[in-house]
Amino acid sequence: MSSFDMSQYLNVFLDEAEEQLEIMDEGFIKLEQNGDDADLLNKVFRAAHTLKGASASMGFTNMAGLTHEMENVLDKLRQGEIGVSQHLVDVLLECLDALGQMKQEIISSGQDQGIQTDDLVTKLKQAITQEEGSGAIPESKSDGRLERERKAGFALSDLTEVEKNLINSAEIKGYYVYRIKVELSPGCQMKSVRAYLVFNNLEDVGEIIKTIPSTEDIEDEKFDNSFEIFLVTNEDQNKVSNIIMSISEIEAVSIIPVSLSNRDTDRASSELHNEQRQKTETQAGQQAQQKQGKAAPKIQVQPKKVSQTIRVDVERLENLMNLVGELVIDRTRLTDVGETIKGKLGADDVVESLEEITVHVGRITSELQEEILKARMLPIEQVFKRFPRMVRDLAKKANKEIDFIVEGQETELDRTVIEEISDPLIHLLRNSIDHGIEPPDERRQIGKPEKGTVKLNAFHEENQIVITVSDDGRGIDPAKIRQKALEKGLITAEAASRMSEQECINLIFTPGFSTASQVSDVSGRGVGMDIVRAHIEKINGIIDIDSEVGRGTTFTIKLPLTLAISRSLLLRVRENVLAIPLVNVVEIIDVESDKIYSMQNQEVTVIRGNVLPLFKLDAVLGWPPREEKTERTKLPVVVAGISDKRVGFIVDTLIGEQEIVIKPLGDYLGQIPGLAGATILGDGRVALILDVRGLVEHTGVRSGYEQAN
C-alpha cells in the first residue's frame, strides 16, 4: 500500500474513531444515569467493537487491545452478567480518555504505543470481578436453567412463541430440529463470510428458523467466535455436522436435538415416522418455507446505510461565501442600473425583460446565499456534546450532585461562531458548578433538592442565537460584589453607593475583578468573567446576567448567526456611509438639541430617567471637527450597546437596515480601532463597518446607563 493510500485511510480511521469515541462518551454518561438500558448497551458495545476492528486493521494494536478489554466488559454488561456501577463507569471513562490520547498520538506521530494501558486493563478486570461478586445473582440463576435445559436436550428459553410453533409443526411432520452451535477458528478473518457459508450450506438440507445472535448481527460480525442456529431438517446430526465441518476455519460444531414434545428425541429409529416423513416431505417443506417467510430470519443482504454527505474543505465554503457576497453586491447594482435605464427609456419591452431578469437573478442570488450560509451551519451539538462528561467530572470533583439538562442541541449556527463559543461556555458551566450550586448538605438545609440543576439551552430568536446557562444555586450577591470591587479599587466609594444591584452584578465582568485564586472569597462567580465577555464580544455577541440571591443565576448569550454577513444599520456622517451591526444597536432615538446637557464636560441626555452619554460619531472616529451648517433641532442618535455599556452616537442621517458582507480592510491598513471592516454598497461605493466595542472603549464610558440623580 502506498503511503498516500495509507494516509487517506488514516483520515477515515481517525474520523471514525472520533465518532465511536463520542458515542461511547455519551453512552457511558447515560449509562450511569439510566443503568441497564439494553439499547444503549448495545450501542456502546457496537461502538467499542467497531473501534476495535478499525484500529486492529490499521495496525494500532495498543488501541485495539484496550478496546478489546472494554468490549469484554460491555459484553458482560449487555449479557446482564454484571451491573452498571459508578466505579465501572469511571474506569470506562478513564479508558476512553486513554483512547483519546492514543488518537492524538496517532495524529501527531502515526503510532499509538506511547500510552500505558496495563493499569487500565487491570482496573477493568478488577471492576468485572467486583461486579460479578455483587450484582449478578439473578443472572446465574437463569444461566443454571439454561444449562439444565441444555443437558435435557432442550434449549427453548431463547425461542419466541412463533418459533416454538414452527418447531412444533415441523416435529409433527417428522422433521428434526437441531440447535447447532458453530465455533469459528480463533484466527478466522472474515467471520461473517464463514457464517454465511454455514447458512448457505445448511439451507440446502433444511431451513434455518433462528440464529443467535440475529442474522443482522452475524452479518455485521457482531459476535465473538461462535453463533447458534436452529435448523429444521430431515438429515441426521452427523450429516449436518459434516456439512458444517466441510467449511474451512470452523473450529467445532455441537448439535443438540430440540424437541417440544415429550417424545423420544431419537426418532430416527421409528420407521413409521420415516415413512410418514417421506410422504409429507414436499408438503411440509413448502409449509415450513411459507412460515419461515414470516417468522424466521433469512440472510438478507441489507444495503449498508449510505450517508448522504460529503466532506468539503472549509476554505472552499469560505470561497463560495465570498463569491456569493460579490453576487449580492452586483444584484443590488443591477437593480440600480435597471432603474436608471427605465428612467431614461421609459416603458419599453427591453426594459421590462431587464426588470424581469433582475428580479429573477435577485431571487436566485438570495437563495444561493441562504443555501451556502446553511452549508456552513453546524448544530450546536458539536459543542454541547462535550459538556455532559465535563459537568459530571467537575461535579464529582466538587462533591456535588448535579442534574445537567441540555436543550436545543439541534440549533444551528455558523461554524466560525461555533469555534469561538466553546471556551466561554466551559467557563460559565465551570462557574455554575464550582460556585453556583451549593454542596448537597447546604441545599438540604435551605430546603432545596440535594441535586442541583444546571441547564444549558440554545434557541433561535429572530436573527440571533440565544444560549443560556442557568443554575438553581446560590446566585450572585450584589452587596458582596460591590464590597469586593471597592476593596480592589475598581470603583470609588461614591460610584459604588450609586450603583444599582444589576450594575453591581455586572462588575464581575470588569477586568481584574477576580482571579482564580481569590474566587473562594466571593460568594458566586468571578473566574475570568472578563475573558468570557471578551470572547463573546469578539464574535459580536452580548452577554447578560440575571441572578437572584438564593435562587440561582442565568447567563444569556446572544450571538449573530454568522460572522460573514451581518444585518446592519446604515447611516450617514458627512459624505460617508457607515454601517453598525444591528446586534449592537439598542435603539434609535431623536434627541432634541435643547435636551442635551453638559455633565463634567460630557454631553449627555436623559432617556427614561437614565443618563446617556452622547458622542458625535465623526469626532469619535477621529475626523476633524467641522462647522455645523445649520443648527439642527433634532438629532438622530443611535444608542449602541456592548455588554452592559450604552452609548449614544449622534449621526447625520439614518439610511436603513441592510444585509452586508463583511470584508477586511486588508493587511496594509491592519486593524484600525473602531472599524470592523468594510462592505460594498449597491452603488459600488465602500461603506465602513463600525466596531462598536472599539468605539465604546474609545469613549471611555464605563458602564450602563448612568442613573440620573
Partner 1 sequence: MQEEKKTVIEEQLVVFQLSGETYGIEIANVHEIIRMQDITDIPRTPDFVEGVINLRGRIIPVIDLRKRFDLEVSEYTQASRIIVVEVEGVTVGMIVDSVSEVLRLPTNNIEPPPAMVSSVDAAYLRGVGKLDEQLIILLNLNKVLEKDEKEQLKDESLQEVAAALEE
Catalytic residue numbers, as ranges: 49, 71, 431
Of 588 and 675, CB closest to partner 1? 675
| Interaction of residue 422 with partner 1, rule CB under 8 A | no
| Collapsed DSSP state (helix, strand, coil) of residue 662 | coil
Q: Which of 44, 687, 692, 701 binds partner 1 (CB under 8 A)?
A: 687
3-state secondary structure 508-530: HHCCCCCCHHHHHHCCCCCCCHH
Min CB(421)–partner 1 separation in Å: 28
Q: Quickly tell me which residue has 464581575 as its cell.
A: 508
Residue 492: DSSP 8-state: -
Pick from 480, 672, 682, 703: which binds partner 1 (CB under 8 A)?
672
Among 368, 549, 655, 665, interactor with partner 1 by CB under 8 A: 665
Q: Assess 668 for contact with partner 1 (CB under 8 A).
A: yes
User: Within 10 A of 270 (CB to CB), how many other CB atoms are there?
Assistant: 14
Which member of 38, 190, 669, 708 binds partner 1 (CB under 8 A)?
A: 669
Smallest separation (angstroms) from partner 1 to the CB of 320: 14
In the complex, least distance from residue 641 CB atom to partner 1, rounded to whole angstroms: 22
Q: Which of 360, 686, 707, 708 binds partner 1 (CB under 8 A)?
A: 686
Taking Cα atoms as reference points, which of 690, 677, 608, 616 lies closest to residue 647?
616
Residues 267-326 that bind partner 1 (CB under 8 A): 325-326
Grid coordinates 443555501 are at which residue? 371
Decide if residue 667 touches partner 1 (CB under 8 A): yes
141 forms part of the interface with partner 1 (CB under 8 A): no
Span near partner 1 by CB under 8 A; candidates 34-42, 170-178, 276-284, 657-665:
657-665
β 542-548/552-560 pair status: antiparallel
Instruction: Judge whether 471 and 545 are in contact, CB under 8 Å.
Output: no
d(CA 17, CA 56): 12
Rank residues 455 and 698 by Cβ distance to partner 1 and give the closer one.
698
Interface with partner 1 includes 77 (CB under 8 A)? no
C-alpha cell of residue 514:
477576580
* Paired strand residues for 490: none
Q: First CA to last CA across the chain, in angstroms?
A: 80
In the sheet with 206-212, reading across from the earlier edge strand, the strands are 206-212, 226-233, 176-184, 250-257
**For the window 541-580, what string marks contact with partner 1 as x by the rule CB under 8 A?**
-----------------------------------x----
Residue 522 makes contact with partner 1 by CB under 8 A: no
Q: How far is the CB of 469 from partner 1 (least distance, A)?
A: 37
CB contact set of 432 (below 8 Å; sequence gap of 6+): 454, 469, 470, 471, 473, 553
Q: Is 168 in the site for partner 1 (CB under 8 A)?
A: no
CB of 580 to partner 1, least distance (A): 15
The 3-state DSSP class for residue 653 equals strand
- Whole-number minimum distance, CB 14 to partner 1, in Å? 33
- Report in angstroms how near the CB of residue 570 gets to partner 1 at its nearest: 13
481 binds partner 1, rule: CB under 8 A: no
676 near partner 1 (CB under 8 A): no
Backbone angles phi, psi at 405, to 5 degrees: -110, 130
* Binder among 5, 670, 700, 709 for partner 1 (CB under 8 A): 670
Cα angle, residue 245 at apex, residues 241 and 249 outer, rounded to 5°: 145
Degrees, nearest 5: CA angle 401-404-407 = 170
685 contacts partner 1 (rule: CB under 8 A): yes
User: Each residue of 160-195: b (16+ CB within 10 Å) or e?
Assistant: eeebeebbeebbebbbbbbbbbbebeeebeebbebb
Stretch that binds partner 1, among 230-238, 424-432, 476-484, 661-669 (CB under 8 A): 661-669
The three three-digit cell numbers of residue 346, written as one number: 421609459
- Closest approach, Cβ 643 to partner 1, in A, equals 23
Query: Does 626 interact with partner 1 (rule: CB under 8 A)?
Result: no
Q: Would you put residue 622 in left (φ > 0), alpha (ψ -120 to 50) or beta?
A: left
Considering the rule CB under 8 A, would residue 673 count as an interface residue with partner 1? yes
Residue 206: which H helix or E strand, with range? strand 206-212
Residue 405 vs 686, nearer CB to partner 1: 686
List the one residue out of 389, 379, 368, 452 whose CA is nearest residue 410: 379
Asked if 684 is part of the footprint of partner 1 (rule: CB under 8 A), the reply reads yes
**Total residues found in the chain within this entry:** 709
The cell 436573527 sits on which residue? Answer: 463
Least separation in angstroms between CB 326 and partner 1: 4
C-alpha–C-alpha distance, residues 267 and 261, integer Å: 12
Residue closest to 606 by CA, chosen among 594, 618, 619? 594
Stretch that binds partner 1, among 359-367, 396-404, 600-608, 680-688 (CB under 8 A): 680-688
Is residue 202 a contact partner of residue 208, using CB atoms and an 8 Å limit?
yes
The smaller minimum CB distance to partner 1, of residues 192 and 576, is found at 576
If binding is defined by CB under 8 A, does position 655 make contact with partner 1?
no
329 binds partner 1 (CB under 8 A): yes
Q: Which residues bind partner 1 (CB under 8 A)?
A: 325-326, 329, 576, 621-623, 663-670, 672-675, 677-678, 680, 684-688
